[in-house]
Amino acid sequence: MANHKSAKKRARQSEKRRVRNRHVSSGVKTAVKALREAAPEEQVAALRRAESVIRRAASKGVISKKQASRRVSRLAQSVSAS
C-alpha cells in the first residue's frame, strides 16, 4: 500500500475510476449482447441503444472515440447484413 499522502490519494482516485469504468464497460457489453440476441425486426432499435451506450462510454473516456466508432460501424454492418 502507498505510504505518501499523494500516493494514497492517487490510489483512492484510481479505485474510484476503476469502479466507474467497470460499470460503464459492463453496460457496453450488455448492450452489444442484447443487440446480437435481438430478433431481426428489433435489431434497428437495439442498434440505436447500443450506439448510444458506446458513444457515451467514449465521451466518459472509458474507451477511445476511435474504438467507439469502430465498434458502432461493425455492429451496423452486421445488422445490415442480416
Stated pTM of the model? 0.86
Q: 64 by DSSP, 3-state: which?
A: coil
Domain locations along the chain = 5-81
Residues 78 and 36: their CA atoms lie apart, in Å, by 9
The sign of the CA dihedral 17, 18, 21, 22 is negative
User: According to the model, what pLDDT value does residue 18 have?
Assistant: 96
What's the rounded Cα separation, in Å, for the pair 42 and 16?
36
- Residue 77 is classified by DSSP as H
CATH number of 5-81: 1.20.58.110
pLDDT of residue 13: 96
**pLDDT value of position 2:** 81
In tens digits, the chain (82 residues) has pLDDT values of: 788 999 999 999 999 999 999 999 999 999 999 999 999 999 999 999 999 999 999 999 999 999 999 999 999 999 998 7
